[in-house]
Each structure stands twice: as C-alpha cells, then as structure tokens.
Structure 1
Amino acid sequence: MLVYCVFLCHIISAAVSEIRFASYYGSHMVLQRAPNRAVVWGTASKIGDTVTVAVSGQGYQTTTVVKNPEGSGGFWKATLPAISEKGPFSVTVTSSEGQQSLDDVLFGDVWICSGQSNMDFSLGRVFNAKTEIQRALTFKDIRIFQALRVESKTPYEDLHGIAIKWTAPTNETVPDFSAVCILFAEYVYPHLNFPIGLVQASWGGTPIETWSSPDAIRKCPAHNFDGPAEPSVLWNAMMNPFKRMTIYGTLWYQGEENAVSEASAELYACQFPAMINDWRSKFSEATGGETFKYFPFGFVQLAPNAKKPTLVGQFPALRWSQTVRHGYVPNNNMTNTFMAVAMDLPDFDSPYGAIHSRDKQDVAYRLALSGRAVAYSQRVQFQGPFPSSFQEQKDKNYLKITYNYSPIEIKNRQGFEVCCATRRTAVCGEKDTWHAAPIEHYDDMSVTISSGACANDYTVGLRYQWRTSPCEFKMCSVYGLDTTLPAPPFIANKAA
C-alpha cells in the first residue's frame, strides 16, 4: 500500500512552526555527498529573518528569508558543507519562527528516476517478485522517495503530493516502487559502498513533451497536444520542484508513447537531447552549480513490444533516435549518457502486456554496468559490439562487418538486411525495399553477410535487428562473448 501525503501535511506542520523544509526533504532521506554540496530550501513567513541550517557534527550555514522568487510568502535556501561521511545525521533549520529537524539523514548519491510505464513498473510485478522484495529489504543504505502523479499547466515551486515518503525499503513501500530504479541501485551499490537516494517521478503513457520544459520544447519542431499529453505539464508539476535539490544523476525509461508515427520517432532525436540538456542546465543553475551541469543521464533503449517478428513498426526508428542516430552512447551529441540495450528481452506473455516485460533485472543490470563505466568511471566493458568498418568483398556478393572489440559471439545468422540501388550515391530509407542478408562466415572480430540480393546493383544500405521485436529472449545475432551484452541495432547508408 502506498503511503500518501499531500500538501495538507505541510499546512498542518505550519500551524506548529512557520518555518519548514520543502516537501521532499524528510527524515531517512539521502542528501548529495561530497564533492558536491547538498542544497536545502524551504519557506518561512518573516522576510529578512535569519535562518540557521545545521548538520549534527558537521557545522552550520546561515541564510536569510527573502521574498519567494517562485511563489508567495518567504523563501530560504542554504548550501550545506561538502560532507563525505555517510552519517546518519540530523539536519535542523532554526529561525525566530521555530525549528524543524530531519533525522536519520544519510549522505550519498541522489538519482532521479523518470519516464513512463516501464519506469513506473513496480518491483512487486517483476519475475521472482517475492525474492526481489526480500533482497531489497537488506539494502538499508538505499533510500526511496516517490512523487505523486500530478500535472499542471504552470510550474510548481514544490511538489503537490507525495506517494512514498523517504524511507529505507520496507514491505509496505518497496513493492510499489520502480523496479528498474531500485534494481539499478542494488547492482551499483556493492561497487560504491555509500548510500544511494532514489527519487521516482514517473507516469505511464506519457510522451517526452510532457516532461520537457517550454525551453526544451522550443528547441524542436512542436506537435499540437491536448489533455494529459499537453507539453510541459509533468515538468511543471513533477520535475521543476526538484531542481533546487542537489542530485548526482538521472535514469530515464520512456519512448514508447513517442513511437506512434515515423515523424514522431524521428523528432525524438531532437527532443531527447534537448530535454537532457535543459534538465542539466536548470538543475545546475538552481543549485548554484552544485548539481554538475553535465550530470550523468542513463536510459533504457526500447524493449520488444509484440510477438510479430516481421513487424518493423516505429520502435527501431525510435531506438535509433534515442542515440541521436549514432547507435551507441555516449557520443558527441549525447555526452555523459549511458544506455541499456533491451531489444532482446521480450516477455510476450506478460500479464501486464507485452510492452511491460517482467524482466527488469536484466534491464537494470545492463543499465548499472554502463552507469558504473560512465557515471562512476569504473573500468568495465559496458557496450555490446558495434561495427567499426564495412568492406564489400571482391565478388560483390558479400559484405564484411568488423566490430570494435572482440571476441564476439554469434547466436543466430539472421538479423542483417541490405538495401540495393542502381546508383552508388543513393540513400535508402524506411520505405525502401530491404533484403535479408544472412551471416555466411564469422570469426571473433567480424561477420561476413550475403549481399547477393544486390548482386546486380550497389549495396547502399545496411541495417541490423530493425524490428519492433527482433529476436527471442537473448537470441539476437551478435553479442560480446565475454560480456554477454548484445550488439545494438543500427542502420547505415552507403555501407559499401
């Protein structure tokens, strides 16, 4: 059962003490550790009043109540000392209007987990849920918080509802918390050994436009949306309030709602980096630079949707757009980002629909592996094999694809396709004819595919696993032998 706390709880507390913390600061929370400094803020009544914010045994900061820049009444904000010790600590705010304290506060890394239904998908619905819930209860230094689903046409300064107050995992709360979010934390925790705070702010069935601020929306051609898909309504209500809290990074699982048409899927290549850059800018500015202006941003590439192996659909184009048409991250358009490839993790019999796979463990493992490399600079191989060169063989019936690391493993010989044209300079697109190009030979560094379908023409296009649901469970064509990570999908023109 969710623990619901709406704004009324703050009205009640204000009757006792006029000074208070913003709603998402609470006992049992995690604040951002050094070298970053945690920012805390709240409201008060007396403009000009002196406010002291103290961390037990770690010193204090003083600040002044000023006119609220984003609301009515008074506002205070303090940047705490850089704290490396885990804690627990008490954080106390004091003014002439009274005092409030947060107890059992830990210092670690704070991650925001956002997106649509697959980020919303709870731990209580995954495979082996009972075992996973019991395992989650052992991670006392992982703390969770969930925002209530609220939308607004104007920006909120603070949350207007809380679904799960800050807590260590409990039998009452963790079954309803995001599976990808908490499993990611569980998988990286042994390699960090300091607390992790998780903030879930997600809503099923929502397009990226709803999570993008007006500034991000203006960066890309706009669609006309109405109702629950109206641009910025979730940024306003569920993300903008968090921008004053120092965070370490963000996890994102969304895109299905934008794979509704070819135009929408292609537009995502603009919208996604625009939203990432905008979030980074706004969080960094609101915390005075304490949130790193290029903070790590991890995401899940879309998983399979339906058991129709011949269906191309818009998922491949959306997956391609998630990487800004590079096929991998990080890249020069997606700095400090990391990704979990999920196209080979179908769960067609899921009682929640094929789009909602119960296997969030593999997704989170891959996301954690790439996060360890990108977000924490640990030396681990975090990407599946990706082509480094294409070479047409002399008889023009074969195309050799060399990968960027070895050894590779071949699990089946299907998945590659070629596009032919009478002109070498031609470019193939989604609506052109693509021909199956099975693997004929392979070694630990390359595969050679049959391009015989283009024997009388030029091979001008090559694509890999370009289907909504390209393969059975972990049975796509190319994997890293040592890492078991799948080669991501790609499309290339003028391959020869």
Structure 2
Amino acid sequence: MKGHLFKKTILGFVLLIVSSQVANATVTLPSFFTDNMVLQQKSAVQFWGESDAKSITIATSWDKKTYKTNVENGKWNVVFKTPVYGGPYKITINDGTIKTLSNILIGEVWLCSGQSNMEMPLEGWGKINNYKEEIANANYPQIRLLQAEHVESTLPLHTLKVQHDGWNVCSPQTIADFSATAYFFARKIFREKNIPIGLIHSSWGGTLIEAWTSSGALCAIHDFDTEIQAMKSETDAAALLQQYNADLADWEMKLRGSDKGFETGKVIWAIPNFDDSSWKTMTLPSFFDSNGLGNFDGIVWFRKKVNISTINADFTLSYYADDDDMIWVNGNYVGETKGYNVERHYTIPAKFLKKGENTITIRVFDGAGNGGIYGDENFFLKSGKETISLAGNWKYTIGADSKDLPAKPYLAQGQNRPSAIYNAMISPLVNYKIKGVIWYQGESNAERAFQYQKLFPLMINDWRTQFKDKNLPFLFVQLANYKQQKEQPGDSDWAELREAQFKTLKSVSNTGMAVTTDIGNGEDIHPKNKQDVGVRLANIALAKVYNTKTEYSGPLYKSYSIKANVVTIDFDFNENIKARDDMLKGFSIAGSDQKFHWADAKIVNGKVEVYAQEVSNPVSVRYNWADNPNGNLTNASGLPASSFRTDNWKGITEGKK
C-alpha cells in the first residue's frame, strides 16, 4: 500500500513538472505575424518565431495541413505554401500553449518606403486633398495596414518595431495616420483586381537613400567607407566627429566673414539707427524662397520697428526659423537657435526695450530648401496681457550667398548614417514574402543627384538580393515640381535627380516610374494631391505586374537627331503624342557654347521638332530641366512626359559626395 502511494506520488510529481514545463513554453512571434495580416499568395512563405519548447506544430486552415518542426537554440522556422488569394484564414501554433492568429488574408503584399512624401498621412501633418472625405470612405476590409516605427541601428536587427500592435484592417478608424500614397495605390489595385492587399509601410521623412541601403552593398562603391567604419568603431567615430567639428568651425568663420551684416566682427545691421531704407520689403511669417528670393540659400537679415507703450516686465517671442537664426533688439544680442524644426522661444529683457519705437533684427541662415521665418501668422511679442503682433511687412536684405562659399561640411548622424535605417526598418523584413516595392524618395539626395545615379540602382539590387527575388518589382515616384519657377532655362539639382531616376528606369529591369511634375506645388515640398500619385503607381503595377491593359506612362525620351537648326526628338510611348494645352512648352536648346535658350517645339509625325532663332547650330535639347518646370508634353494616356536632356555636359552636382 505504501509502495503504491509512493509510486502515485512520484508520478504526480513528474506530471507536475511536465505540465509546468508545458505551461511555461510560450511561443513568441515577430511583430508582423499578427491577426489581420496578409500573406503573399501562391508562394513558399516563411513563418518563424521563438519558443522554450523542444518542438512546435503549426496548423494552417487554408489547406488543413499541420507542420511540425524542432526548436533549435530557442528558434524555429517553417515554410508553407499559400494558395491563390482568399480568406479569412487562421494559423494555430502549438508548443504546449496554443496561440491562434485569426482573420488572415492571402493576397498581395507590397512594401511602401521612402521619405516624407511616402510617409505623408491622410490627416495629421499631411492633410491631403479632401482628407476628411477620403478618411470617411476608407472602408476596405480587404486592405490591411502595417506601420513600422522610426528606428535606426548601427547593426542589422531581427525585430521590426511596429505601431498599433501589428496589422490593422483598413477603415476610417485606422487609415488617418497611414501613408496616403500607399493607401491610394492599394485602393486602385483592389478596385481593379479584387485581391486582398497588404501594405507594409516603412518610411522616414528627410532621409537619405544610403541610409536605406545595406552596408555590404555600400562598401562596393566606397563612397561611405569612412562613415561605415565609424559605425563599427568608437575611435573612428570620435575622429570623424572631431574632424567634422573642425571643418564646421572653419566654414562658419568663412560664412560670418562673408556676411555683410558684420564689419570687423561687429554687427552693424542690428543697430537701431542703421539706415535700411534701401532694403526690400517682405511679409512675415513666410518662406523667402517664394517671396522674391527664388531658390536662395544663405543669410537673410530682417528688420522691423515696433512701438511699445508700456514696459513693466520682460517680453517673450516665439517663432520658427529655417535653418538657424540670431536675434537682436535695439542692437542688444538676445540669442540664437540652430535647427529648422525647432521652435524659438526668446525672452527679451525689459532693460533692452524702451517706450516708443524699438528695432527688432533677425538674421536667418538657410542651408537648403525653403528658408525664412514661419509658423503662426499671428506671431507676436508678449508681456503679461499685452501682445504686439509682428506679422506683416519687414525690411530685408541678403547678408551672404552660399554660392560664394565652399560646400558646408556634412556629418551623417542618427538615422541618416549609411545603412542605419536599412538595419532597423528593412532588414527585419527580408524573410517576409512580398510582391513588390513602391518607393518615393530623392528630395534629400538632390544636392548629390549625380551620385544618385549609382546609389539608386545599388539600393534596388541590394533589396532584391536581401529579399531573395532578383526580379522583385520596384516602382517609384519621380520628384514632383517644386520651388519657384525661373524665367530663363538653367541648371537644376532637382532636374539632375529626376535624370538619375529616369536612368534607373532605363537601366534596371522590372522597374516603373510615376512622373509627377504636373501635380506638385512650387511652394510646398509635400504636395497635397496624393490620390494621383497612388493611382499612377497602381497603373504601372496593373500593367507590368498584373498584366492588365491600361495606360501607365507619358512619353519617355528615346533618341534625337539634328538637321540644320532643328533637333528632332523621338519617344517611347508616343501614341497620340501632343501638348496638353495650346503650344508645346518646356523645351530649351543650346549650341556648343552650352547656353540654353527657350525653344519653339512642334509635333511632326509623332516626334517633336525643336528649334530657336538664337541657336543656328544646335547641339543639345533639354525638356523640363528645372526645379519647377511647366512643360506640357503628353500622349494618349494624358500623363506627363519625363524630363530629359540629350547632352551629357557636367551638371552642378557632379563630383559631390
């Protein structure tokens, strides 16, 4: 009897241990394996995770199969085949504890990436055209959304940080903060094909293409060896920072030395009695690029006289400036701030002020893009209950032009270090089977547009290698029109970036390019019309990936010939080639002197003939070669022609790294 009880006690103890081990065995999945996810149809799909158990079983409801695999070093991986699109389905994982993923669809998975124009949400900071209506109508349960968080890393990561606990069903409640371009892309394809669409959105505003490329790929071109080595070595990183600080200090001395607002190191344009009668007038707050200064980069000084009736305490002043600013009141230095996205908060001591007329002077340095003083139109001085508006006319003049200085030293930091975003926001995804990629980026690389000619194909081929799909469709958006229009033809880094994108389209197979120079905004680097951008990308996918007969491209430059004073341009996609309205615009022509003149252009037998009275022996033709072009060449599709040039003369970005 005692022996029997002893055996039962031992057996119970063993069962307790086993059951305890089973209870503690809990499967862990990557952040993108969740309820509501989309798996790529008709594919061999990897599915993986971690567990404390020795083995694990996975059951898939679409084929009623059960897969068993061993757990090695805490990790497991299975591969199962997916059928043609459909759902919803379930996946059940059992390692002693059962975990079930529900509402899974099988369809098409697209990775959506780039910088701010891809990131731009329907609402939030984006507020696209008709955003309230678009959000209210976003009832598409067959479209699923996965939003990656902004993360950068020195080394490749295995875990993707995501928002909203993983995949979400597209609805008015979930779409507002998602990529507008990606959503309209998916909506168009779904309406046409009725196939579930999964969107993995992994973008980051203001980022450089080299940050999205693996270090292994970048090492092949040697343009970023120093930066990559610095990411591996604290000693090299410290040396790089020390050299940058020295170079920057030297450059800032040169900048200040060239600033006409200073004389022998002393500020002269901030003193109250300085004669600014010859200065021009600008309304603030605003960006000076769209107020008479075009695409100016450098230093602009602003002055305004303000009447103050009573002074009982210090005053405060808040505004934004792009990029750096300094402020004086009645010739007294108040402070300075660096950073285009930093709100200024200045306290003006009462001792700096006087009853009656006071002079406020603000010096703004802009390194690239828009510059000026911006923010709330009602920006004001405030002291207690008293407010004095500063909005309105200010006197301004140029202190220094960046064109007269060497290039400002640059140090890639944070997310813009080479490979830093790839490591954290792409690398964790490379085993997740996708159909293709849509990409909208390039604005941040415009100053190094010539280099982009090798960086862009490099990144595409790198991703194809990492995702183990040498033919992975890669569709991208060519930069939209932006900045002030110029009266005369000339150089443009944005045109050179578009050329790099166009060359990539020509040289890299299974790519597609959406031209958007007709739907941008000269005063806004983030144009609100994301509906057409998404649809244009979708039409490329429908034609090239889904074999749907649809128009998806405007004319693309093919070749040219010269006879006498006429240059004849031939195009691909030239069916019913025409001007969108009236006469053809946007063409310029030059002889061997490389001086371009606006040209007359006409369509003859499906080709464009270009000529100008000023150029008797033409050598080159350019079309839409500007930051903000106004060309109107199109075809039967109604889509715009890509910008192009027939010459290979050295551009303004060649040699910049």
What TM-score range do you get, normalising by the shorter chain? 0.7 to 0.9
Q: Does 1:61 align with 2:70?
A: no
The aligned amino acid for 2:50 is: T
Local SS of the residue matching 2:170: coil
Alignment correspondent of 1:279:
463
Alignment correspondent of 2:553:
383
Output the CA distance in 1 between the equivalents of 2:445 and 2:463: 19
Q: What is the TM-score of this pair, normalised by structure 2?
A: 0.63
The aligned amino acid for 1:401 is: I
Q: C-alpha offsets along residues 413-432 of structure 1, whole Å, 9 cap, x if unaligned?
A: 3211122117xxxxxxxxx4
Alignment correspondent of 1:155:
156
Q: Decide whether aligned partners of structure 1 residues 132 and 444 sit closer, same or farther in structure 2, where only a CA change above 3 A counts.
A: farther
Output the CA distance in 2 between the equivalents of 1:377 and 1:365: 16
Residue 114 of structure 1: CA displacement?
A: 0.6
Residue 313 of structure 1: CA displacement?
A: 2.8
1:244 corresponds, among 428, 431, 434, to 431
Q: Does 1:452 align with 2:458?
A: no
Output the CA distance in 2 between the equivalents of 1:341 and 1:85: 31
Local SS of the residue matching 1:417: strand
The aligned amino acid for 2:509 is: T
Are the equivalent residues in 1 in contact too, given 2:82–2:106 (CA < 8 A)?
no
Q: Decide whether aligned partners of structure 1 residues 358 and 487 sit closer, same or farther in structure 2, where only a CA change above 3 A counts.
A: same
Are the equivalent residues in 2 in contact too, given 1:460–1:494 (CA < 8 A)?
no
Are the equivalent residues in 1 in contact too, given 2:560–2:646 (CA < 8 A)?
no
Q: Does 1:309 align with 2:486?
A: yes
Are the equivalent residues in 2 in contact too, given 1:323–1:334 (CA < 8 A)?
no
Residue 375 of structure 1: CA displacement?
A: 1.9
Output the CA distance in 2 between the equivalents of 1:381 and 1:241: 36
Aligned residues: 433
Output the CA distance in 1 between the equivalents of 2:596 and 2:107: 50
Q: Decide whether aligned partners of structure 1 residues 33 and 367 sit closer, same or farther in structure 2, where only a CA change above 3 A counts.
A: same
Residue 197 of structure 1: CA displacement?
A: 0.2
Alignment correspondent of 1:227:
413
Alignment correspondent of 1:372:
542
Are the equivalent residues in 2 in contact too, given 1:399–1:451 (CA < 8 A)?
no
Q: Decide whether aligned partners of structure 1 residues 462 and 85 sit closer, same or farther in structure 2, where only a CA change above 3 A counts.
A: closer
Residue 134 of structure 1: CA displacement?
A: 2.3
Name which one, 1 or 2, has greater alpha-carbon Rg.
Answer: 2
Gaps of at least 5 residues in structure 2 are 1-21, 228-410, 650-657
Identical positions, percent? 33
Runs of 4+ displaced beyond 6 Å: none
Written as runs of structure 1 = structure 2, the 5 A alignment for 1:87-486 is 87-96=87-96, 98-124=97-123, 125-137=127-139, 139-163=140-164, 165-223=166-224, 224=227, 225-228=411-414, 229-260=416-447, 264-284=448-468, 292-310=469-487, 312-324=491-503, 329=505, 331=506, 333-348=507-522, 354-393=524-563, 396-404=564-572, 405-410=574-579, 411=581, 412-421=583-592, 432-439=594-601, 441-443=602-604, 445-455=606-616, 458-471=617-630, 476-480=631-635, 482-486=636-640
Are the equivalent residues in 2 in contact too, given 1:210–1:230 (CA < 8 A)?
yes
1:29 corresponds, among 32, 37, 40, to 37
Are the equivalent residues in 1 in contact too, given 2:114–2:202 (CA < 8 A)?
yes
Are the equivalent residues in 2 in contact too, given 1:270–1:324 (CA < 8 A)?
no
The aligned amino acid for 2:620 is: G
Q: Decide whether aligned partners of structure 1 residues 387 and 202 sit closer, same or farther in structure 2, where only a CA change above 3 A counts.
A: closer
Output the CA distance in 1 between the equivalents of 2:23 and 2:477: 44
Are the equivalent residues in 1 in contact too, given 2:589–2:610 (CA < 8 A)?
no
Residue 200 of structure 1: CA displacement?
A: 0.5
Output the CA distance in 2 between the equivalents of 1:270 and 1:101: 45
Are the equivalent residues in 2 in contact too, given 1:219–1:274 (CA < 8 A)?
no
Output the CA distance in 2 between the equivalents of 1:85 and 1:203: 31
Local SS of the residue matching 1:20: coil
Q: C-alpha offsets along residues 166-208 of structure 1, whole Å, 9 cap, x if unaligned?
A: 1111333201000000100001112221100001011100000
Output the CA distance in 2 between the equivalents of 1:214 and 1:143: 31
The aligned amino acid for 2:460 is: I
Residue 494 of structure 1: CA displacement?
A: 8.4
Output the CA distance in 1 between the equivalents of 2:577 and 2:513: 20
The aligned amino acid for 1:248 is: K
Are the equivalent residues in 1 in contact too, given 2:92–2:99 (CA < 8 A)?
yes
Are the equivalent residues in 2 in contact too, given 1:406–1:444 (CA < 8 A)?
no
Are the equivalent residues in 1 in contact too, given 2:144–2:199 (CA < 8 A)?
yes
Local SS of the residue matching 2:205: coil
Output the CA distance in 1 between the equivalents of 2:508 and 2:83: 30
Q: C-alpha offsets along residues 216-265 of structure 1, whole Å, 9 cap, x if unaligned?
A: 212334245431211111111111001111111111110000012xxx11
Output the CA distance in 2 between the equivalents of 1:162 and 1:175: 13
Local SS of the residue matching 1:123: coil
Output the CA distance in 1 between the equivalents of 2:105 and 2:423: 28
Local SS of the residue matching 1:299: strand
Residue 29 of structure 1: CA displacement?
A: 0.9
Q: What is the TM-score of this pair, normalised by structure 1?
A: 0.83
Alignment correspondent of 2:55:
50
Q: CA-atom RMSD, angstroms?
A: 2.2
Alignment correspondent of 2:378:
none
Are the equivalent residues in 1 in contact too, given 2:142–2:170 (CA < 8 A)?
no
Local SS of the residue matching 1:190: helix
The aligned amino acid for 1:184 is: F
Q: C-alpha offsets along residues 1-32 of structure 1, whole Å, 9 cap, x if unaligned?
A: xxxxxxxxxxxxx9975212111111011111
Q: Decide whether aligned partners of structure 1 residues 484 and 92 sit closer, same or farther in structure 2, where only a CA change above 3 A counts.
A: same
Output the CA distance in 1 between the equivalents of 2:538 and 2:171: 22
Are the equivalent residues in 1 in contact too, given 2:585–2:633 (CA < 8 A)?
no
Output the CA distance in 2 between the equivalents of 1:454 and 1:178: 47
The aligned amino acid for 1:30 is: V
The aligned amino acid for 1:400 is: T
Gaps of at least 5 residues in structure 1 are 1-13, 68-73, 285-291, 423-431
Are the equivalent residues in 1 in contact too, given 2:57–2:69 (CA < 8 A)?
yes
Alignment correspondent of 2:647:
493
Q: C-alpha offsets along residues 89-128 of structure 1, whole Å, 9 cap, x if unaligned?
A: 11111124x2211100000010110110001101221100
